[in-house]
């Protein structure tokens, strides 16, 4: 794809300001060095494979899906004339209005790459004066590369990428990175009006991996029991859409919840996805059985029809005990 438009703004916090001012900046005519730097940043930071996000719908009851930020990005990518700069400026102002005094100033770059009918919009946020030097001009702005691309890449704090066509059902999903905070509220939720989102299969795969890791790492028999019960419970519950945080709240007590969330990256915890039961069965690595006398038995999938025999509703197993766990009862 070819870089077709690039805008830059110096964005300062203006949350709660009665009369916010438009951030300084505007159109850039990029030199070849800056073009190479931006292309390398996309590649080196693997933006196409970062955390998936999707735009929230402004009014779920409306006949047609709409999102104000997506509309601005679409006009920035596919518009013409003064429309391009106006929407770029609107996005810079929006970012400043969600930033409070705890946020440091950003150099915000808005770029658009095109190939035939497809466009790719990339938004970048760098700390002011780190790696890229910003200055205003009579016709907009100027950005100079003052450090090598490795240092610029290490200075990158936030980015988002959206690819699609000028169609109603396109440009609804993208990818993001937020290195600065590990949280998603400022960059993803308040600025981009998006939410973390992944496919059901991918999200369910991550859930099984996080549960397995938490189970193996825990030294507490109580926590392991709770994690096991959660695995059993979610397999049979009418779960449709969930997130890692919602799963923890729905199925785990305080200690087990803490240990489970400790293995889930912070930027994934609110990630929503459709629970895929078939994927969970395959990825969790073992089957769990609850017997008629409330005994729970877990068996690695490789042992089914080997040492573990299942016939109708009967289970038979014979093996050698290698560990014996005894849970002490409470004293009166």
Of the listed ranges 56-60, 114-118, 181-185, 186-190, the one predicted with least confidence: 181-185
Q: Are residues 125 and 15 in the same domain?
A: yes
% of the chain at pLDDT higher than 70 = 86
Task: Say if pTM beats, i.e. exceeds, 0.75.
Answer: no
Residue with tokens 């369910």: 204
Q: Is the confidence at residue 149, as pLDDT, over 90?
A: no
- CB 187, CB 178: distance < 8 Å: yes
276 is written with which tokens?
């895929």
Check residues 141 and 161 and name the one with the higher pLDDT.
161
In 10 A of CB 327, how many CB atoms?
A: 7
Instruction: Specify the pLDDT at position 324.
Output: 61
pLDDT digits 0-9 by tens, 203-250: 889 999 999 899 888 888 889 889 988 887 887 777 778 889 889 999
Q: Are residues 210 and 188 in the same domain?
A: no
Check residues 257 and 233 and name the one with the higher pLDDT.
257
User: CB-based burial of residue 29 (10 Å sphere; 0-12 exposed, 13-18 middle, 19+ buried)?
Assistant: exposed
Q: Are residues 170 and 236 in the same domain?
A: no
Q: Are residues 192 and 216 in the same domain?
A: no
Q: Are residues 254 and 160 in the same domain?
A: no
DSSP states of 219-268: --HHHHHHHHHHHHHHHHS---EEEHHHHHHHH--HHHHHHHHHTS-GGG
Domain presence at residue 219 = yes
User: CB-based burial of residue 311 (10 Å sphere; 0-12 exposed, 13-18 middle, 19+ buried)?
Assistant: exposed
Of 146, 177, 196, the last residue of a domain is 196
Domain presence at residue 325 = no
- CB 20, CB 14: distance < 8 Å: yes
pLDDT digits 0-9 by tens, 97-126: 998 888 778 888 899 999 889 999 999 888
Q: Are residues 153 and 226 in the same domain?
A: no
Give the residue numbers spanning the domain of 221: 200-284
Instruction: Specify the pLDDT at position 326.
Output: 47
Q: What is the mean pLDDT of residues 173-187?
A: 76
């Amino acid at each position: 794809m070819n870089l077709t438009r690039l805008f830059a703004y110096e964005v300062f916090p203006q949350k709660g300001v009665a009369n916010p001012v438009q951030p300084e900046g505007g159109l850039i005519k990029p030199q070849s060095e800056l073009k190479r730097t931006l292309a390398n940043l996309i590649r080196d930071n693997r933006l196409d494979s970062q955390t998936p996000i999707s735009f929230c719908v402004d009014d779920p009851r409306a006949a047609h899906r709409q999102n104000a930020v997506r509309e601005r990005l679409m006009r920035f990518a596919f518009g013409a004339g003064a429309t391009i700069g106006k929407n770029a400026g609107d996005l810079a102002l929006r970012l400043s209005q969600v930033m409070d005094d705890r946020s440091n100033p950003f150099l915000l770059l808005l770029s658009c790459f095109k190939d035939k009918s497809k466009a790719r919009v990339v938004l970048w946020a760098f700390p002011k004066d780190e790696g890229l030097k910003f200055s205003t001009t009579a016709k907009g702005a100027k950005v100079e590369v003052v450090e090598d691309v490795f240092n610029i890449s290490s200075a990158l704090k936030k980015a988002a990428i959206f690819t699609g066509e000028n169609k109603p059902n396109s440009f609804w999903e993208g990818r993001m990175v937020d290195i600065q905070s590990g949280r998603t509220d400022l960059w993803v939720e308040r600025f981009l009006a998006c939410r973390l989102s992944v496919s059901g299969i991918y999200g369910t795969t991550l859930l099984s991996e996080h549960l397995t890791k938490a189970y193996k790492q825990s030294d507490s028999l109580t926590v392991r029991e709770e994690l096991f019960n959660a695995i059993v419970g979610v397999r049979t519950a009418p779960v449709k859409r969930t997130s890692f945080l919602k799963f923890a709240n729905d199925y785990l007590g305080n200690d087990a919840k803490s240990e489970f969330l400790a293995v889930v990256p912070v930027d994934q915890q609110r990630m929503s996805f459709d629970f895929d039961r078939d994927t969970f069965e395959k990825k969790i690595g073992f089957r769990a059985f609850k017997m008629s006398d409330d005994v729970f038995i877990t068996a690695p999938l490789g042992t089914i029809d080997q040492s573990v025999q299942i016939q109708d509703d009967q289970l038979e197993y014979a093996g050698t005990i290698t560990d014996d766990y005894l849970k002490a009862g409470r004293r009166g």
